[in-house]
Amino acid sequence: MADRNETDNRAGRRDSGVASNPEDSTEDFKKKYNELNSQIDNILTETMKRSNRIFMESELGHLVTNLVFNASNDGIWAIDRNHKIIRANKKLLRLFNKKAEDVFGILCKDFFPGGCPMEDMCPWKNIEKGEPIVAQEKTLVLPSGERCVFRVAFTPLADLDGNTIGLVETFTDITERKQAEEALQRANRELEIMAREDSLTKLANRRKFDEYLEVEWRRQKRAQKPVSLIMCDVDHFKNYNDAYGHPAGDACLAKIAHVIRQSLHRVSDMGARYGGEEFAVIMPETDIDGARIVAERIRNGLKELGIPHSRSDAAPYVTVSYGVASMIPRDDLQPWTLIETADRRLYLAKQKGRDRIVADDE
C-alpha cells in the first residue's frame, strides 16, 4: 500500500513538472519559427537572384542580338505569316532609303518599287515544307537607279514551341562578285576564241581546223554523207612580200580571208588559215561539184577585189590556186587521207600555171 502511494506521488510530480514549465515549449516554437523564416528568406533571396540573373541574361541577349542585327553588313528583315514587316535593320533601311516608321506593318511586297521581285518564287511553301533555308539570286533596283544583285536567304522565324511564325530574310549584295565572275567568263571565252582563231585573218586556226575535221569526219561516217575540202595557196606570195613589204602582205592575207568568209553560205562550212599563206575550207555534206562551186566563188571574189601583184606570172593581181577533194568517210579512210588528196591536187594546180581549181587527179 505504501509502495503504491509512493509510485503515485512520483507520477504526480512528473505531471506537475511538465505543467509547471510552459516557457520551454514557447522557446522551442520560437526557434522553429525563426528557422522556418530564415529558410523562407533564403529561398526568396535565391529566387530573386535567379530571376534577376535570368532577366539580366535576357536583356543582355536582346542587346547583343540587336547590336548584331544592326551591325550586320547585310540587309535583314523579319516578316510575319501575313507577310507584314515586323522588323528591319539599319543596313536594309539605308539601302532602300526607308525610315523604320514607314516600314513596320506594311506588306513586304510594298517595300520594293514595282512590287516584290521574289513574288513569282515566294519561299513560303518551301519553308512550310520544312526546308531550313531557301536562297535566291535577285537583281534589285535601288532608289538611286543602281541595279544590284543580291543573294536573298530565307530562314524560318519560330516561336518557343518551334512553330513557324514568320521569315527572316537576309539580303547580301553580291554585285561585285557577279561582275567579277562575268568578267572571268568573258576572259575565258576570249581566250577560248584566241586559242582557236587566227589573230590576223580571224578565220579558224590550225588547231580548230584539225578538231572540226575530226568531228565532221566521224559524223558523216555515221550518216554516210560526203565531206569536202578545199586547200588554197596564194600564188607567188613571197614575191608579193618582197615587193610590197610584210605589213602589206598581212593586209593581203586578211583581205583574202574576208573573201573566203563571204563565199561560204552555210553555217556548217568553215574557213581556216592552214599555215602561212595557205588556207583551207571544210564543207560537210557537200560533194565534189558543190565544193568546186565554192572554190570558183572564192576565185571570182579575188578577181573582183583585184589586189595588185606586179611580180606574179599568173595575173596582174593576187591569185590563189585550189585543190579540191571529197570523200564519204569509211573504215579504211582517215581525215588525213582527205587532206593529202586535196593537197596533191593543189600541187597540180600550181604545176598547171596557178590561179586555177583542180578537183581530180588528171
DSSP 130-187: T-S-EEEEEEEE-TTS-EEEEEEEEEEEE-TTS-EEEEEEEEEE-HHHHHHHHHHHHH
Q: What is the pLDDT of residues 157-190, one digit of tens each?
A: 887 777 888 888 889 999 999 999 898 888 888 7
72-178 and 197-358 have identical folds: no
User: Which amino acid makes up residue 247?
Assistant: P
Give CATH superfamily name and number for 72-178. Answer: PAS domain (3.30.450.20)
Specify the 3-state DSSP secondary structure of 362. coil
Q: Which cell numbers in the block locate residue 18?
A: 511538465
Q: What is the pLDDT of residues 228-286, one digit of tens each?
A: 999 999 999 999 999 999 999 999 999 999 999 999 999 999 999 999 999 999 999 99
Place of cell 584539225: 210
Q: Where are the domains of the chain?
A: 18-67, 72-178, 197-358
**Alpha-carbon radius of gyration of the chain:** 48
Q: Which cell numbers in the block locate residue 72?
A: 550586320
Element (H, E) at 80: strand 75-80
Architecture of the domain delimited by 197-358? 2-Layer Sandwich (3.30)
| Residues with Cβ within 8 Å of residue 164, at least 6 apart in sequence | 81, 127, 128, 156, 157, 158
Q: What is the pLDDT of residues 338-354, one digit of tens each?
A: 999 999 999 999 999 99
Q: Would you say 111 and 93 are in contact if contact means Cβ atoms under 8 Å apart? A: no
DSSP 265-331: -STT-EEEEEETTEEEEEEET--HHHHHHHHHHHHHHHHHH--B-TT-SS-SB--EEEEEEEE---T
The Cα 320–Cα 309 span in angstroms is: 12
Share of the chain above pLDDT 70, in %: 82
Q: What is the pLDDT of residues 14-47, one digit of tens each?
A: 444 444 566 667 777 667 766 766 766 666 666 6
Q: Would you say 226 and 347 are in contact if contact means Cβ atoms under 8 Å apart? A: no
